[in-house]
Structure 1
Amino acid sequence: MHFKDKVIWITGASSGIGEHLAYAFAEKGADLILSARNEQELQRVQQNCPRNSRVLLLSMDVTAYDKISGITARAINHYGKIDILINNAGISQRSLVADTALSVDQKIMDVNFIGAVAVTKAVLPYMRQRKTGHIVAISSVMGKIGTPRRSAYAASKHALHGFFDCLRAEVYSKNISVTLICPGYVHTNVSINALTGDGSPNNKMAETTKGGLSPEAFAQKALRAIYKKKEEAYIGGREIMGIYLKRFLPGVLSRFVRGMDVK
């Protein structure tokens, strides 16, 4: 996998999947742009990258839509280009529909979907001008199926597929690739940081998440999918089978999901 001297912008890079994608790309010699809200954590990630890595830190909230174009311009001014954009910033959910405030639904959609759209629209003109580029969206198994206690999260991830499938068709002639990556369970703080019905953090590590794929292993698999410019990649354990059940035996999946005790 050759990413040397490629400029790669990763949102949500201060922890979890984004952090370990940064390390994996840096090991391959890529130049990085790392963004997240927590600048102190971004600095930690930068310090943990291999020595001599070129890393630009751009603190950013993907829901501060009016600031994204200016931040994108700073990235372009620094490196002169963005080869690969990885829309990774996101937040999960742990609450029933009936118990979830509408403001929580909106926040999850704003971060997971509109945030990715906003950053993509800011970067796209530069890629179109150069007639090359690669846009990656980190979706989820929940972008293909639905389970209890994930309604807004699943909706936001489903929305990514609709948007980026359309974009892929539109930019094909401009030599711009689009990849959707669907993680299953990955051992990160995603369940701890997930929002409950009133918008407060869940503050619990789910056993399924705890037993999931290591973020290091996930990052290596993700890099292979990005290098091969796959349209979609499913990365995880047995939970990935849910995607295929949804496609070929939807009734079986529905009966199974109804009996799930999802935490």
Structure 2
Amino acid sequence: MSFLNQVIWITGASSGIGKELAILLSQASCKLILSSRNKEALELVKRACATPENIYILPLDLEIHSNFPLKAAAAILAFGKIDMLINNGGISQRSYAENTDFEVDKRIVNINYLGTVGLSKAILPHFIKNKKGHFVVTTSIVGKIGTPLRSSYAASKHALHGFFDSLRAETYKKNIAVTLVCPGFVNTNISKNALIGNGNPQGKLDIATGNGMSPKRFAVLMMKAIEKRKEEVYISGIKEKFGVYVKRFCPRLFSVLVRKISVT
């Protein structure tokens, strides 16, 4: 596929992967709708793009599900259609399950899983009406393997795979594609913003995250996967990919390894 003349809606577009995707896609002659909670940061991203006149800012909070029908209608109205929804918004976790308040568990699921599903279902009728569409979902390597300090985060990402694998099968004949993108460690603010047990942000960068792939490099590889309409792709270092395949083929060995490997 080509991005030429496509209208693409990106959530989590104010920083990190979403920001770099916006900058790259703006060079591909498409129109963009950029969403996150931070309108000021979105305006900065817009100014960094090659064609700011082809960018519409639409503030969005993935935790406020009741707003999704109105937000979807506004997104469609901006350029008359939506060809692709890139579900990139979300929040991470850095706390053991025993130390995590249940309200924090619920918040992570409300944002990462229900927020993504709710927004996708709000735009799904538009895709069906147009007889085409593409859902792109930023999940995680932790959406394939569970690791310490990320119990609810892992659960929310695992759930996305279940939902969108089912949706892909249901909408295949309607010309609607689904691409699940699984990042490993990427050098963004995700660990700084990750919730600890009481719901506060961790406020610091993990060593592994700081040593991760640059968001710009990740965005380049993600765009290639989207162009090829891949169903699922792992964009990560060797260790993270190794973990996915060990879990699949040698689950007992994975259980031993995951207890020993540092995940911070």
Report the Cα offset of residue 262 of structure 1.
2.7
Cα distance change of structure 1 residues 52 and 17 upon mapping to structure 2, 3 Å threshold: closer
Can you list the C-alpha shifts for 1:140-175, whole angstroms capped at 9, x where unaligned?
000000111000000000000000000000000100
2:18 is equivalent to residue 18 of structure 1: yes
Q: Hey, what does 1:134 align to over in structure 2? A: 134
Map 1:25-174 onto structure 2 (within 5 A): 25-174=25-174
- Indicate conservation of the 8 Å contact 1:11/1:34, yes or no: yes
Cα distance change of structure 1 residues 101 and 213 upon mapping to structure 2, 3 Å threshold: same
- Indicate conservation of the 8 Å contact 1:23/1:50, yes or no: yes
Q: Hey, what does 2:229 align to over in structure 1? A: 229
- Indicate conservation of the 8 Å contact 2:208/2:263, yes or no: no
Report the Cα offset of residue 2 of structure 1.
2.4
Q: Hey, what does 2:246 align to over in structure 1? A: 245
Query: Using the alignment, how far apart are the partners of 2:52 and 2:37 within structure 1?
Result: 24
TM-score, normalized by length of structure 1? 0.98
Runs of 4+ in 1 over 6 A off after TM superposition: none
Query: Using the alignment, how far apart are the partners of 2:115 and 2:129 within structure 1?
Result: 23
Query: Using the alignment, how far apart are the partners of 1:51 and 1:142 within structure 2?
Result: 35
Q: Secondary structure at the match of 1:27?
A: coil
Query: Using the alignment, how far apart are the partners of 1:50 and 1:261 within structure 2?
Result: 40
Size of the aligned set, in residue pairs, is 263
Q: Which runs of 5+ in 1 are unaligned?
A: none
Query: Using the alignment, how far apart are the partners of 1:260 and 1:242 within structure 2?
Result: 10
- Indicate conservation of the 8 Å contact 1:29/1:53, yes or no: no
- Indicate conservation of the 8 Å contact 2:27/2:51, yes or no: no
Q: CA RMSD in A?
A: 1.0
Query: Using the alignment, how far apart are the partners of 1:197 and 1:93 within structure 2?
Result: 8
Q: 1:241 is aligned with what amino acid?
A: F
Query: Using the alignment, how far apart are the partners of 2:228 and 2:158 within structure 1?
Result: 23
- Indicate conservation of the 8 Å contact 1:26/1:53, yes or no: no
Map 1:195-210 onto structure 2 (within 5 A): 195-210=195-210
- Indicate conservation of the 8 Å contact 1:131/1:174, yes or no: yes
Query: Using the alignment, how far apart are the partners of 2:63 and 2:121 within structure 1?
Result: 13
- Indicate conservation of the 8 Å contact 2:11/2:86, yes or no: yes
Percent identity among equivalent residues?
A: 50
Query: Using the alignment, how far apart are the partners of 2:89 and 2:27 within structure 1?
Result: 22
Q: 1:134 is aligned with what amino acid?
A: H
Can you list the C-alpha shifts for 1:19-64, whole angstroms capped at 9, x where unaligned?
1111111111110000000100010100111145500000010121
Q: Secondary structure at the match of 1:247?
A: helix
Q: Hey, what does 1:180 align to over in structure 2? A: 180
Query: Using the alignment, how far apart are the partners of 1:173 and 1:220 within structure 2?
Result: 29
